[in-house]
Amino acid sequence: GAVVSQHPSWVICKSGTSVKIECRSLDFQATTMFWYRQFPKQSLMLMATSNEGSKATYEQGVEKDKFLINHASLTLSTLTVTSAHPEDSSFYICSARDPDRNEQYFGPGTRLTVT
Amino acid sequence: AQSVAQPEDQVNVAEGNPLTVKCTYSVSGNPYLFWYVQYPNRGLQFLLKYITGDNLVKGSYGFEAEFNKSQTSFHLKKPSALVSDSALYFCAVRPSGGYQKVTFGTGTKLQVIP
């Protein structure tokens, strides 16, 4: 099946700094990518939907200025957590939609810990 | 609005016994239904999906699920559980027709006891 990668797989940063997470579709061109956040023992919450070449659509309650999403190419989307705080610590998962197969594939996730 | 309910936070089953993880859904129109499995600190792995056709869907690792339209359910089943099946299972739904947002259930932790 199609592969979606995320980098880094885990990151620790200090409070107040910014951290960037990359999501890549390795063997297909993803017109749409999704970013999810997962708290311990909870479900995935959709944060935003990004379409290549246009602004991301954020879900209600997600701060656009804090979670910057860029989908500059058909194989890469990035999520930047700006001015991170300990409450931003979470597991972030991206997924990419393959338009040819009309399927959504998930990345392995990134564990963010803000100290 | 669409929604998914997984009524059990955790399911315990003895190795070798059949397992069932429950899922009910609510969506406008015809549903596309999915099951995913997640191992600790890992992303989601696709198990199976229902789009149309046979109500019994067979997926990866011996899992299957039955779509029941009248009960709006899509329970995950396996005839004989393995210890390695222990993981977190998510049911998900989206409406058919074009591509629309997928909604996930809260997850059910499956514990297979040796």
| Chain A interface includes B32 (CB < 8 A) | no
Q: Distance between CA atoms of B44 and A15, rounded to whole angstroms?
A: 28
Q: Do B41 and A46 touch (CB under 8 A)?
A: no
Bridge-based pairing of strands B10-14 and B108-113 is: parallel
A105 and B46: CB-CB below 8 Å? yes
pLDDT tens for each residue of B70-113? 999 999 999 999 999 999 999 999 888 766 778 899 999 999 99
**Residue A115 class from Cβ within 10 Å (0-12 exposed, 13-18 middle, 19+ buried)?**
exposed
The pLDDT value given to residue B99: 65
Structure tokens at B57: 């869907």
d(CA A24, CA B45): 17
Residue with tokens 């329970």: B75
Whether B111 contacts chain A with CB within 8 A? no
Q: In chain A, pLDDT over 90 holds for what percent of residues?
A: 72
| pLDDT grade for A1, boundaries at 50, 70 and 90 | low
Q: What is the largest CA-CA distance in chain B?
A: 44
